[in-house]
Amino acid sequence: MNDCLPEQTYIWQFLEEKIKKVLDSYCYKEIRFPIVEKTALFTRSIGEVTDIVEKEMYTFEDRNGESLSLRPEGTAGCVRACIENGLLHNQQQKLWYKGQMFRYEKPQKGRYRQFNQIGIETYGIADADADAEVILLSADFWRTIGLTDVELQINSLGDEQSRAKYREVLVEYFRNSYELLDEDSKRRLEKNPLRILDSKNPEMADLVKNAPNLLEYLDEESERHFQRVQEYLNAAGISYVVNPRLVRGLDYYNRTVFEWVTTKLGAQGTVCAGGRYDGLVEQIGGRATPAVGFAIGVERIIALLEVCGVEISSKLPNVYIVSLGDKGQEQAFSVSSILRNEIDGITIMQNSGGGSFKSQFKKADKSGAGIALVIGEDEVEKGIVGLKYLREKREQETVSVSEIVSRMRELI
């Protein structure tokens, strides 16, 4: 679990602000739900034979003996919140969330035990246009933050019957190469063979690559749906690769699944993953409601921004206030509060803890502020403020206190 220090937080804020703008532009609304849920919610939705439920959840008993877990992902809690609050019946919802998720993973680059996701979920739309919209929205994220090194992969898992048919063929295929399966895959063979396709073990790569093609077993309606998704993406000019071996690490998906992947982050190359999950709402106890969504791994996006050299600069203060003597320091409080009240968005760093003019100017320079306002005893007596430009060569000025607001408005 990582601390996010001040030298990093501005990058997170940059990302969150940009993404929020995209979400606003699509009229998605934010939903906030708890970090802790009953364990059963996750085992029922994510699936018993998944990495998450088998070995990654932070599970504990509360004082009442009830089993609770820190959320390992957002979708289950989002669905629960929507059902409980009556947001789904006969309605469409377009929602987003962000926050910490918890998984007991083997820590490595791009894999943490507390990590952050920003996710979206739509409810009540069975049509392929919802699948296309969420994919488009994710593409807009990358465009807005300046990321180009990501590739969209899509696939369709079909419906329950077609998946059952495929499952038989797949089990047969893996059974014929039983000795090549790793321990995890052997265990999954009976309970959840599709998950073997999602194996991260490089020794399994060849076997997975030659596995039967899921798309050849699609039912007609799923095929039409998948076709339609692709037509929408084509119309929007989004390029993609159909990857018939793309399945997800969670059990609740059907039909469209997709991932945005990069080759620039080593093994942990998936930065965004999602798909359709029409069965989940009913499975959790609501009325059947079609749904589609995705989650992006914020840590991985931030790592990718760095690797790709996308420059994000922190916001520097507009003004540093240098003050000397009791009267000067008092006046500094008065001037800074007038400026903050009058000029929306102004950022003022007021010198704290005294010090000589020289040491205060050193701090002013270091702060990166564009302007220093100087208030000594002399300035207080004359009712003026000294104004010094810190990053450009311009004459120092003096401004009367009564005009400081209008002068600063001109300057910043």
Would you tell me which residues interact with ligand ATP (CB under 6 A)?
73, 103, 105, 110-112, 115, 117, 248-250, 268, 270-271, 273, 295, 297, 299-300
Contacts of 125 (CB under 8 A, 6+ apart): 92, 290, 292
Q: For residue 352, what is the DSSP state?
A: -
What mask of x and - would describe binding to Mg ion in positions 224 to 253, judged by CB under 5 A? Answer: -------------------------x----
DSSP-assigned letters across all residues of 53-77: IIII--EEE-TTS-EEEE-S-SHHH
Binds 188: which of ligand ATP, Mg ion, none (CB < 5-8 Å by kind): none
Neighbours of 10 (CB within 10 A): 13
Closest CA to 151 of 272, 20, 295, 316: 272
For ligand ATP, give the closer residue by CB, 28 or 361.
28
Q: For residue 112, what is the DSSP state?
A: -
Binds 368: which of ligand ATP, Mg ion, none (CB < 5-8 Å by kind): none
Task: Give the separation between CA 407 and CA 412, rounded to whole angstroms.
Answer: 9
For ligand ATP, give the closer residue by CB, 153 or 268.
268
Lookup: tokens for 114: 């507390």
Lookup: tokens for 235: 């119309």
For ligand ATP, give the closer residue by CB, 218 or 257.
257
Neighbours of 185 (CB within 10 A): 21
Binds 295: which of ligand ATP, Mg ion, none (CB < 5-8 Å by kind): ligand ATP
For ligand ATP, give the closer residue by CB, 71 or 248.
248
Minimum CB–partner distance for residue 31 and Mg ion (Å): 23
Binds 374: which of ligand ATP, Mg ion, none (CB < 5-8 Å by kind): none
For Mg ion, give the closer residue by CB, 245 or 407.
245
Minimum CB–partner distance for residue 103 and Mg ion (Å): 7
Region 331-370 residues binding Mg ion, contact defined as CB under 5 A: none
Q: Which residue has the tokens 């929007």?
A: 236
Binds 193: which of Mg ion, ligand ATP, none (CB < 5-8 Å by kind): none
Lookup: tokens for 394: 């311009």
Residue nearest ligand ATP (C-beta atom): 297
Residue nearest Mg ion (C-beta atom): 249
Task: Give the separation between CA 130 and CA 128, rounded to whole angstroms.
Answer: 5
Task: Give the separation between CA 255 and CA 277, rounded to whole angstroms.
Answer: 8
Region 109-168 residues binding Mg ion, contact defined as CB under 5 A: none
For ligand ATP, give the closer residue by CB, 207 or 369.
207
Closest CA to 174 of 198, 215, 207, 199: 207
Contacts of 208 (CB under 8 A, 6+ apart): 196, 197, 199, 245
**Would you call 378 helix, strand, or coil by DSSP?**
helix
Q: For residue 108, what is the DSSP state?
A: B
Binds 111: which of Mg ion, ligand ATP, none (CB < 5-8 Å by kind): ligand ATP
Is 321 in contact with 351 (CB distance < 8 Å)? yes
For ligand ATP, give the closer residue by CB, 2 or 400.
2
Minimum CB–partner distance for residue 194 and Mg ion (Å): 15
Minimum CB–partner distance for residue 230 and ligand ATP (Å): 22
Binds 37: which of Mg ion, ligand ATP, none (CB < 5-8 Å by kind): none
Is 15 in contact with 301 (CB distance < 8 Å)? yes
Minimum CB–partner distance for residue 250 and ligand ATP (Å): 6
List phi, psi (to 5°) of 358. Answer: -60, -50
Minimum CB–partner distance for residue 76 and ligand ATP (Å): 11
Minimum CB–partner distance for residue 273 and ligand ATP (Å): 4
For ligand ATP, give the closer residue by CB, 117 or 222.
117
For ligand ATP, give the closer residue by CB, 117 or 329.
117
Task: Write the CA distances from 47 to 39, 42, 51, 54, 338, integer angstroms.
Answer: 12, 7, 9, 9, 58
Q: For residue 309, what is the DSSP state?
A: T
Minimum CB–partner distance for residue 374 and Mg ion (Å): 56
Task: Give the separation between CA 346 and CA 402, rounded to whole angstroms.
Answer: 18
Minimum CB–partner distance for residue 107 and ligand ATP (Å): 8
For ligand ATP, give the closer residue by CB, 273 or 322.
273
Minimum CB–partner distance for residue 253 and Mg ion (Å): 14
Q: Which residue has the tokens 């001037």?
A: 335
**Residues forming the site for Mg ion (CB under 5 A):** 249
